[in-house]
Structure 1
Amino acid sequence: MRSAISSLLALTLALGGCGSGHEEVPGKSPDDPVVITNAGQQIDAMRRGVPIDKEASPPPMARVENFDRPRPVNYEMQPPTIPHAIDNYQLTVNTNRCMLCHTRSNAVKFQAPPVSENHYVTREGKVLEQISSRRYFCVQCHVVQTDAPPLVDNNFKGIEISSTGEAAR
C-alpha cells in the first residue's frame, strides 16, 4: 500500500510540470499587463468602465412609456406589451390589479382591451369563468415598454399584420 502511494506521488510530481499552464511564451513576461481589446470594452456592461476596486453608481432607471395605446406586434402569438406604467400594481396570489380593468366584465367600462379568450382556458381545454391560474401572473409574458436605448443593434424583421389581426403570408 505504501509503495502504491509513493509511486502515485512520484508520478504526480513528475507530471505536474507538464501542464499547459507552464508553457513558455516567447517574448512575454508574466508581469506584462493584460491588454483589453475593443471587444472586451464593448462587453463591459456590468462595470461600465468603473475599476473593480471602485463602487459604480447605478445607471438611471429607464422611463416607462405611458402612451395608453397598443403597440404593433412583431410575430404571431407575441404577447402584447403593456402600454402604461404598472408601478405599485399589486400582483400576488390573492390580488391581480391588472384584472381590475382587463377582465371581460370591466374592459368596456375602463376602455381597456380585455384579456384574450385563451387566458380563460385550462391546459385540458376547459373554459373557465375566471382567468386560468396558469395565466394569472401577467408579467410572466407581458412587459412594460421603456425608453431605454438598445444595448445591441437589432435587425429583426417582424411580420406584417393586417388590420384584422391576421399575419400577411
Structure 2
Amino acid sequence: MRQLATTLGLVVALVGGMALAQSVREPVSELTGPSPNPMEPVAAAPLERMVTDDVRLMRAYPEQPPIIPHSIEGYELSVNANRCLSCHKRETSLGTGAPMISITHYMTRDAQMLADVSPRRYFCTQCHVPQADTAALIGNSFTDMAEMGATGAGSE
C-alpha cells in the first residue's frame, strides 16, 4: 500500500511539473507585450478622455479621497508650486467656488493645527486622481448599504 501511494505521488508530481514547465516556456503577452520580441518598439494606445464635467461624484466608501472632476493637464505640482491650492486653499475657496480642502490637510500627524497646508498633504495627486472616461478593468458588484435597505439609527 505504501509503495502504491509513493508511486501515485510521483506520477502526480511528474504531471504537475510537466504542466508547469510547459506554461513557463510560453511567453505571457501581458508581461512581454504583443510582439514576440519584448525589446521591439510598439505604438502606445491613445490616452482615455478625461472627465471634465466638474460634477462631484459620490464616494464609494468612507474616507475615500474625492476624485478630481476637472482637467489638471498642465498644472504645476512641485516643491515650489501647487496650482491646486490656488482654488482649494481655505483662503481662496470662497472666491473660486471650489470645495475647500479638508481641515485634516492643515494638521500634522500628531493632530497639531498648522497655519498652512501640511507638507505631507502638499502633493495632491498622491491621493486624489482625475477620472478617465473608460471601461472598468475588472467587474464590480459593490452594493451600497443604502441600496440594501439598511436604515440609519433613529429613522423609525
Task: Report the TM-score, using the length of structure 1 for normalisation.
Answer: 0.65
Structure 1 residue 57: Cα displacement: 1.6
Alignment of 1:125-164 (within 5 A): 125-160=111-146
Match of 1:71 in 2: 57
Match of 2:101 in 1: 115
The reply to whether residue 94 of structure 1 matches residue 75 of structure 2 is: no
Letter in 2 for 1:138: C
Which secondary structure does the structure 2 equivalent of 1:97 belong to? coil
- Give me the whole-angstrom Cα distance separating, in 2, the residues matched to 1:78 and 1:97: 22
**Structure 1, unpaired ranges of 5+:** 1-22, 26-33, 161-166
Structure 1 residue 83: Cα displacement: 0.3
Structure number with the higher helix fraction is: 2
- Give me the whole-angstrom Cα distance separating, in 2, the residues matched to 1:87 and 1:68: 14
Which secondary structure does the structure 2 equivalent of 1:105 belong to? helix
Q: CA separation of 1:118/1:168 partners in 2, compared to 1, >3 Å: closer, same or farther?
A: farther
Alignment of 1:13-32 (within 5 A): none
Structure 1 residue 117: Cα displacement: 0.6
- Give me the whole-angstrom Cα distance separating, in 2, the residues matched to 1:52 and 1:35: 10
Q: CA separation of 1:94/1:35 partners in 2, compared to 1, >3 Å: closer, same or farther?
A: closer
Which secondary structure does the structure 2 equivalent of 1:154 belong to? coil
Q: CA RMSD in A?
A: 3.1
Contact 1:75 1:159 in 2 (8 A): no
Query: What percentage of residue pairs aligned between the two structures are identical?
Result: 35
Identify the match of residue 62 of structure 1 among 48, 61, 64. Answer: 48
Letter in 2 for 1:126: Q
Task: Report the TM-score, using the length of structure 2 for normalisation.
Answer: 0.70
- Give me the whole-angstrom Cα distance separating, in 2, the residues matched to 1:24 and 1:65: 51
Aligned pair count reads 129
Q: Which has the larger radius of gyration?
A: 1
Match of 1:51 in 2: 35
- Give me the whole-angstrom Cα distance separating, in 2, the residues matched to 1:121 and 1:107: 18
Return structure 1 stretches of 4+ with deviation > 4 angstroms. 44-48
